[in-house]
């Protein structure tokens, strides 16, 4: 077996041992503020494309890189230590909905380059910034039937997901990602396909990047959509030895608290991340969600004061204003104490 060496983001464990790190906020919320038209999504390159593409946010990394770069830079200016690539839906599986599966690799590569350039622009020796290559869940589930009349039906399988994720990982790493983030996990089997592909790529490349895994509790049942509790979810993915594990999306911080507490309890040797939605959906709000920056930052301050978290940020409905407020709220507080000896030893 080839020896795998950590060559990127080697400072992350030491920084996390010293302080809470700040993740960026929502990409989709910020894109919506630009009110881009169908023609603006298409750009010159895709002006004659036969299918509507408005809403394909990952395409903007190719047609409107200025929009994506400006969003990254606003989050970095607000104090984010880590920014996610604009690749939540940049798999062949997800892009097939737009008949753009053949563009997935390019989307990931260019998205990583945009995030890399933004981080390099804002990084200093005292305050380095990091690119998280983001792998979303895909709109298809390997363990849930899309047909209520046929529980055994599936619209995607593990092998299809593995291949799609492998291509995504390869492009994200080649584009300059410092670490990888498997996020918004609502089907653990999809996540396991992503983790398998990541490990496969690490083995092929001889290089290992830090990994963050983030699940999504969908409602007050305390389970992810495919039925697992937070504890069961952690036991299903801990073999990947992530730098951090956490929760994001679906819930605001107030409703997420008991599940973060549970995760912190069952994963004592792993850093904990938390980036909730800005509360509940509110169509009357400017962001589509009901929490102001003061609301979200107050709640995450409570998480930090309780010693629950090491990485905090925002998901749907959060903005640079939210991230700036979160940073100010947690900056005086120490992060959750975790023993990470040996994380960067060669394996």
Cα distances (angstroms) measured from residue 261 to each of 14, 277, 279: 23, 17, 18
What's the CATH code, domain 5-330? 3.20.20.330
Interval 25-78: pLDDT, tens: 999 999 999 999 999 999 999 999 999 999 999 999 999 999 999 999 999 999
**Cα distance between residue 108 and residue 100, in whole Å:** 13
| Contact (Cβ atoms closer than 8 angstroms) between residue 230 and residue 217 | yes
Q: What residue ranges do the domains of the chain occupy?
A: 5-330
| Contact (Cβ atoms closer than 8 angstroms) between residue 242 and residue 213 | yes
Interval 245-282: pLDDT, tens: 999 999 999 999 999 999 999 999 999 999 999 998 88
User: What pTM, to 2 d.p., does this model score?
Assistant: 0.95
**Cα distance between residue 282 and residue 182, in whole Å:** 27
Quickly list H helices, the chain: 12-18, 28-33, 38-42, 60-63, 65-77, 92-95, 104-122, 158-174, 188-205, 230-237, 253-266, 293-305, 320-330
Indicate the DSSP class of residue 288. S
pLDDT at 347: 41
């Amino acid at each position: 077996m080839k020896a795998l060496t950590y060559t990127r983001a080697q400072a992350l464990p030491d920084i996390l041992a010293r302080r809470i790190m700040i993740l960026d906020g929502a990409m989709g919320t910020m894109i919506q503020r630009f009110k881009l038209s169908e023609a603006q999504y298409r750009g010159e390159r895709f002006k004659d494309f036969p299918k509507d593409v408005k809403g394909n946010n990952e395409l903007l990394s190719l047609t409107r890189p200025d929009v994506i770069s400006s969003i990254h830079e606003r989050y970095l200016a607000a104090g984010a230590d880590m920014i996610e690539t604009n690749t939540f839906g940049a798999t062949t599986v997800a892009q097939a909905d737009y008949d753009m599966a053949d563009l997935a690799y390019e989307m990931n590569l260019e998205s990583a380059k945009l995030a890399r350039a933004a981080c390099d622009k804002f990084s200093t020796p005292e305050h380095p910034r990091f690119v998280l290559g983001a792998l979303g869940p895909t709109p298809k589930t390997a363990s849930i039937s899309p047909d209520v009349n046929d529980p055994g039906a599936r619209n995607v399988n593990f092998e299809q997901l593995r291949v799609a994720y492998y291509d995504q990982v390869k492009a994200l790493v080649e584009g300059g990602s410092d670490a990888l983030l498997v996020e918004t996990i609502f089907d653990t089997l999809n996540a396991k396909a992503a983790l398998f592909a990541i490990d496969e790529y690490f083995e092929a490349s001889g290089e290992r990047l830090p990994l963050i895994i983030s699940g999504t509790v969908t409602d007050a049942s305390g389970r992810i959509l495919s039925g697992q509790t937070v504890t069961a979810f952690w036991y299903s993915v801990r073999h990947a030895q992530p730098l951090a594990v956490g929760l994001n999306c679906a819930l605001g911080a107030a409703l997420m608290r008991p599940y973060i507490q549970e995760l912190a309890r069952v994963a004592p040797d792993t850093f904990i991340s938390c980036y909730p939605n800005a509360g509940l959906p509110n169509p009357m709000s400017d962001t589509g969600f009901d929490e102001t920056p003061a609301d979200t930052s107050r709640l995450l301050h409570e998480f930090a004061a309780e010693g629950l978290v090491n990485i905090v940020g925002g998901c749907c409905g959060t903005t640079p204003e939210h991230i700036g407020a979160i940073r100010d709220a947690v900056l005086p507080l120490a992060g959750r104490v975790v023993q990470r000896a040996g994380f960067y030893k060669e394996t």
